[in-house]
Chains A and B, each alone.
Chain A
């Protein structure tokens, strides 16, 4: 089975500071990994995805993530936080055994950006 763990259910940063949201995965096979963002009362929007090509993946809104197999991590970063980045962020891993392409999600990290 696939699983992801997001460390820290709430993260607070100052505007202009580095954003780091942590995600560790468990997978018995090479995974596909994803980061999504969710604004209140809306669906999830794909930020970026890792599909076994480059280990450093760039996404929308200035976010990027690095796949580190040795650490089983896929942390999300952004050099300079903006107020509009305040939202909930979900890491997800693709299951490859049964269930076709179903995704398993982490429990989410709420990002707060302060002035």
Chain B
């Protein structure tokens, strides 16, 4: 079945540590996105990529980095510069009318 796979489902980060969240899609979509979700704040865009080897900052890119070396993959790194990383992270890709298809999310907690 086509879809988006995020891993891991739960992730724990120590202070000062970088962690990478995985996102893989087999929908053959060009565009991929990372969102951060906090209670009561909806989804906020971190980074997006419309094509391989290209990506743009979203609204809250500080403390995050991404790469897009393959069409299927769009990993997100949460760096130590992100001071409040505890959140639910969602990866998505968009189809013909820009409807977004989402992964199941990764819940990141700082310990």
| A residues adjacent to B (C-beta < 8 A) | 9, 32, 34, 36, 41-46, 49, 51, 90, 92, 94, 99-103, 105-108
Contact = CB atoms under 8 A, between A and B. Distances in A.
B74 interface: no
Interface residues of B, number: 28
Contacts of B90: 43-44
Interface of B: 4, 6, 31, 33, 35, 40-43, 45, 48, 50, 56, 58, 88, 90, 92, 94, 97-105, 107
Nearest to B3: A43
Given A32-B97, A43-B103, A49-B97, A105 B50 contact: no
A105 B43 contact: yes
Nearest to B105: A43
Given A41-B107, A44-B100, 9 more contacts: A9-B40, A36-B102, A44-B90, A49-B97, A100-B50, A101-B94, A102-B48, A103-B98, A103-B100
